[in-house]
Amino acid sequence: MSRAIPAALQTHLNGAVLTLARCYKITRTDGTVFGFTSNNVDVVFGGVTYEAAAAVDDSAVRNQTGSGIDNMDVVGLLQSSRITDADLLAGRYDGATVEVFLVNYKQNPVTDRAVLLTGTIGEITVEDGQYKAEFRPLSQRLKQQVVELTSPLCRASDFGDSRCASGGTIGGQALSFYQRTGKSVASVASSIQFTVGSVADATDFFTYGKVQFTSGANNGIAREIKSHTLSGGAAVLVLQEPFPFTVAVNDVVTLTAGCDRKHTTCNTKFSNIANFRGEPYIPGTGQAMKRGRK
């Protein structure tokens, strides 16, 4: 995004008295847009109202030339009704797009801005009613791996995605064949273990799969299954990490089969070896470094 400064704003910056406000536009992955400003009154720009958030405090913005990474941390109390603990814990801000820019809040209407940073929200931590959001600029992508490396395990991003499925099917079966929908939580042992009733699939069928709630406090949120055990016609699930909100009996879930990304699993469990995205027979470094016989 261009950082050119409009002429009117540049004239203001050259003046002796500055009336500048920093604005933050957050666009979540679900398309929801939020605006906040460091000003003590709301600022309207581009059809978005930037809410005055006196509790918002950001670290110094560091810009670098070349391949250096811009960064910034934003800290603020959860005072706005539009940013809640529930949304943060549910991961609804993960990967959200962020634009940080300056405006002259005395301009009427506000039509000019100077862009400081653009990027996405990284790690979010919450402590004692405060959140700290890590800002990851677009330039950080230059530091990431952009090509695939060989691997003995399948590199499909997710079970049933476009690389795993062929023509919308997995081994000739639709994804729904490997899902169990409309199942209810029968009992809850802890924040990471509960039982789903009326699920008679064999032990480990859902290990490394997903459980997604379709009702209750965790509606729409999914977690990876660490282990699955068949017990009395029900599925006992242990999760990799807990759901953000309390799991209650009779909450409804959808279970999706799990894949450990191994060659044999793809072949025997899903009959989907044609779409396996790994190279299990390429010798590893251990084989390459093995010494020959005397």
Instruction: Please state the φ and ψ torsions of residue 287, each to the nearest 5 degrees.
Output: -70, -40
Condensed to tens digits (0 to 9), the pLDDT of residues 225-235 reads: 999 999 999 99
- What are the start-end ranges of the E strands in 105-201? 114-127, 130-137, 169-170, 173-174, 179-190, 193-196
Parse the chain into domains and list their residue ranges.
7-140, 169-275
Per CATH, which fold does 169-275 belong to? Elongation Factor Tu (Ef-tu); domain 3 (2.40.30)
User: Is-contact 237 186, C-beta < 8 A?
Assistant: no
CA gap 32, 92 in Å, rounded? 10
Kindly give the confidence (pLDDT) of every residue in the chain, 294 residues in length, as a single tens digit, with 9 standing for 90 and above.
556 899 999 999 999 999 999 898 989 988 999 888 888 899 999 999 998 875 455 554 554 444 444 555 555 544 566 777 778 778 888 888 988 899 999 999 999 999 988 888 887 776 666 677 777 777 777 777 777 888 999 999 899 999 999 888 999 999 999 999 999 999 999 989 999 999 999 999 999 999 999 999 999 999 999 999 999 999 999 999 999 999 999 999 999 999 999 999 999 999 999 999 999 988 877 777 777 676
Distance of CA 217 to the CA centre of its chain: 19
Fold that domain 7-140 belongs to in CATH: Pnp Oxidase; Chain A (2.30.110)
Instruction: Give me 213's structure tokens.
Output: 């709630």
Give 258's contacts (C-beta < 8 A, 6+ positions apart). Answer: 159, 204, 205, 206, 207, 208, 209, 210, 225, 228
Q: What is the DSSP letter of 112?
A: -
For 144, phi then psi, to 5°, come to -95, 155
- Residue 77's contacts (CB-CB under 8 Å, 6 or more residues apart) are 55, 129, 130
Which pLDDT value is given to residue 77?
43
pLDDT tens, position by position, 238-281: 999 999 999 999 999 999 999 999 999 999 999 999 999 999 98
Predicted pLDDT of residue 2:
53
Residue 266, CA distances (Å) to 157, 211, 274, 275 in order: 14, 20, 9, 9
